[in-house]
Amino acid sequence: MATSSSPPRVVVVGSTMIDLTAFASRIPRSGETLVGERFQMGFGGKGANQAVMARLLDADVVMVNCLGDDAYGDMTLENFATFGIDTAHVYRVPGASGVAPIWVEPDGSNRIIIIPGANHELTAGQAARSVQETPDAAVVVGQLEIPQEVTAAAFAAAREMGASTILNPAPAAPLSDDILELSDWLIPNEVEFEMLTGVPPDSDDALTGFARETGSRLLVTLGDEGAALVSPGLDRVIRIGPPRVDPVDTTGAGDAFVGAFVVGLASGLAERDAVRLGNACAADSVTRPGTQSSFPRPEQTERFLAEIRSSPGQA
Active site residues: 255
Candidate list 19, 86, 121, 192; residue touching ligand RIB; CB under 6 A:
19
Among 49, 134, 189, 267, binds ligand RIB (CB under 6 A): 49
Told to check if 145 binds ligand RIB by CB under 6 A, we report yes
The residue within the footprint of ligand RIB, chosen from 86, 255, 271, 273 (CB under 6 A), is: 255
- Burial label for 229, CB within 10 Å (0-12, 13-18, 19+), is buried
Q: With contacts defined by CB under 6 A, how many residues of the chain interact with ligand RIB?
A: 16
Measured from the CB atom, is 44 or 73 closer to ligand RIB? 44
Closest CB to ligand RIB among residues 16, 267: 16
Q: Which is nearer to ligand RIB, 130 or 291 (CB)?
A: 291
Stretch that binds ligand RIB, among 39-47, 56-64, 74-82, 187-195 (CB under 6 A): 39-47
Residue 112 as a binder of ligand RIB (CB under 6 A): the answer is yes
Q: At what angle do helices 298-310 and 271-285 cross, to 10 degrees?
A: 140
Q: Answer yes or no: are the C-beta atoms of 278 and 253 closer than 8 Å.
A: no
Distance between CA atoms of 111 and 180, rounded to whole angstroms?
27
Note if the bond before 171 is cis, omega within 30 degrees: yes
Whole-angstrom Cα distance, residue 226 to residue 240?
A: 6
Q: Does 273 bind ligand RIB (CB under 6 A)?
A: no
| Residues 107-141 as b or e (16 or more Cβ within 10 Å = b) | ebebebebebbbbebbebebbbbbbeebeebbbbb
The reply to whether 100 sits near ligand RIB by the rule CB under 6 A is yes
Residue 251 binds ligand RIB (CB under 6 A): yes
Determine the interface stretch with ligand RIB among 45-53, 60-68, 195-203, 224-232 (rule: CB under 6 A).
Answer: 45-53
Q: Does position 17 bind ligand RIB by CB under 6 A?
A: yes
**153: DSSP letter:** H
Q: Which amino acid is at 125?
A: G
46 counts as binding ligand RIB under rule CB under 6 A:
yes
Applying the rule CB under 6 A, the residues between 291 and 310 that interact with ligand RIB are 291
Three-state SS for 31? coil
In whole angstroms, the minimum distance from the beta carbon of 17 to ligand RIB comes to: 3
The distance of closest approach from Cβ of residue 292 to ligand RIB in the complex, given in angstroms and rounded to an integer, is 8
Q: Is 285 in the site for ligand RIB (CB under 6 A)?
A: no
Say whether residue 119 binds ligand RIB (CB under 6 A). no
186: contact with ligand RIB by CB under 6 A: no
Dihedral angle over CA of 80, 280, 165, 87, nearest 10:
10
C-beta separation of 15 from 115 below 8 A: no
- Compute the least distance from the CB of residue 98 to ligand RIB, in Å: 7
3-state DSSP assignment of residue 95: coil
Q: Do 290 and 249 meet the contact criterion of CB atoms below 8 Å apart?
A: yes
Kindly list the residues in this chain that would bind ligand RIB in the complex (CB under 6 A): 15, 17, 19, 44-46, 49, 100, 112, 114, 145, 251-252, 254-255, 291
